[in-house]
Amino acid sequence: MQASNNIIRKAQIGDEFAIYEMICELALFEKALNEVINTPEALKIHLFDDHICDALVVEFENKIIGFALYYTSYSTWRGKCLYLEDFYVKPNFRGSGIGSLLFDEIVLIARTTGVKRMDWQVLDWNEAAIEFYKYKKATLDPEWINGRLYF
């Protein structure tokens, strides 16, 4: 999967460090860096040993500049679904179409794996992301309130 100088590929062992760095960048942007308790070592186990989740990365000049981390979820109404946990492109590379290509690749994975729905969250103040998802013709549902317990 290549577009100009960018390569979108499945994450490989060793990529967990760059992915983790971007997870922290995203958490900082979301004003929640103190909530990140994951580690690159745990991420490696979850991605490559336990297969709890999967990730795609975007490379530019042999550096990872974006990622999408996703996993299979389940809807009692629909069945098998794909949940896009994090989707991130480094700020200097936004607006170049890289994010669109990465998102389209996740949508392709969702379609080819036979899921019935693809879900993700976006913060209500992240106008750039909201506009991006609207451009992609996504349904942004204001009715549901997120529930969460921490352990």
Catalytic site positions: 133
Residue 93 CB neighbours (<10 A): 15
> How far, in Å, CA of 50 to CA of 66, rounded?
23
Q: Please give the C-alpha separations between residue 80 and each of 51, 89, 115, 145, 151, in angstroms, as whole numbers.
A: 16, 27, 5, 22, 26
> How far, in Å, CA of 88 to CA of 80, rounded?
24
Farthest CA pair distance, the chain = 44
